[in-house]
Amino acid sequence: MEVNIIQVLLISVLSYLGALSVPWFLGISGGWYTLSRPLVSGFLIGLILGDVSTGIIVGVAVQVVYIALVTPGGQMPQDLNAAAYIGVTLGVISVKGGATVASAVAIATAVGAVGTIFFNFMMLVNSYWNHKAIACIEKGDLKGLKFNHLIGPQITNFLLRVIPTFIVIYFGAAIAANIINLFPVTSFTMRTLTALGGMLPAVGVAILLRQVTKKDFELIYFLFGFILIAALKINMISLAIVGAFFAVLNFKYTTQTVVVAENASDEEEEL
């Protein structure tokens, strides 16, 4: 699968618009929490490369890995943006070349880990603009403050997102497209990538369950959904409807329990 400069440039610009601290595309909600989700980036990349279905398949697989990713205070354990645009793009190209989706997930995750280097370097460079902004405040330079607070950091973000993304995709596309020729499916490298890529989504789901379950017995809800899909072959839309039904029942039950408990407490106080 060949990619041209226009396609790579579009993907690179999207990686900037979806980066953390970029205000242009509806701020952090439209950028970081929307465009940088691999599910969304997979659709957009597939649209640009002319294969939406493959883009969504790879995007969904990568999304599961990062489904529980948390970035408290800007601390970045993985650069989701790099995984969403560089990783998913290379994954789509490699899958089109004959690689497995699991191996594409492993590639995207590795890119996300390496991407933290660029992110930390970008934060380091942006500290320069902070010092310049403070100096402008001390001098009462409002125009300089606006530039160093608004424009300067975005120049850094743009360059450190667009340039690495463009270079890696443009020069790495040929390698990703010929990945099967370099590493056949039966090779140790490809079997290792497939095995790792197959385990990573499970790790993402496990981390999510660890965060959303308060008690161990609540895992039964997850196991019930797993059985519906694995044993009864129910599709995701039907499962979502079943899950919504149980969520409503749980909400009504807990609400009634709280009301009854409050009424009982009020009656005890009156006595």
pLDDT in tens, 17-74: 998 888 887 777 888 889 989 999 999 999 999 999 999 999 998 998 888 776 655 5
pLDDT value of position 260: 55
Q: How far is 12 from 15, CA to CA, in rounded Å?
A: 5
Query: Is the predicted pLDDT of residue 269 greater than 80, yes or no?
Result: no
Is the torsion defined by CA of 160, 161, 167, 168 positive or negative? positive
pLDDT, mean over the chain: 82
Residue 27, by phi and psi: left (phi above 0), alpha (psi -120 to 50) or beta? left
Q: Would you state the structure tokens that stand for residue 186, as one six-digit string?
A: 């039966």
pLDDT value of position 169: 92
Q: 198-231: per-residue pLDDT in tens?
A: 676 677 777 777 777 777 777 888 888 888 888 8
- Cα–Cα distance list, 227 to 167, 221, 235, 244 (Å): 44, 10, 12, 17
For the beta carbon of residue 98, count every other beta carbon within 10 angstroms.
Answer: 13
Long-range contacts, 184-188 (Cβ 8 Å, 24+):
185/98, 185/99, 185/100
- Cα–Cα distance list, 248 to 86, 102, 190, 241 (Å): 40, 35, 45, 11
pLDDT value of position 8: 94
pLDDT value of position 30: 86
Alpha helices in 97-215 (DSSP H): 101-139, 142-146, 152-177, 179-182, 188-212
Name the more confident of 226 and 9: 9
At CA 70, angle to CA 107 and CA 65, rounded to 5? 30
Q: What is the mean pLDDT of residues 73-85?
A: 78
pLDDT value of position 92: 92
Q: How far is 263 from 154, CA to CA, in rounded Å?
A: 56
- Cα–Cα distance list, 76 to 12, 49, 115, 162 (Å): 20, 29, 10, 19
Q: What is the mean pLDDT of residues 165-185?
A: 77
pLDDT value of position 177: 65
Q: 93-140: per-residue pLDDT in tens?
A: 988 888 888 888 888 888 888 888 888 888 888 889 988 999 999 988
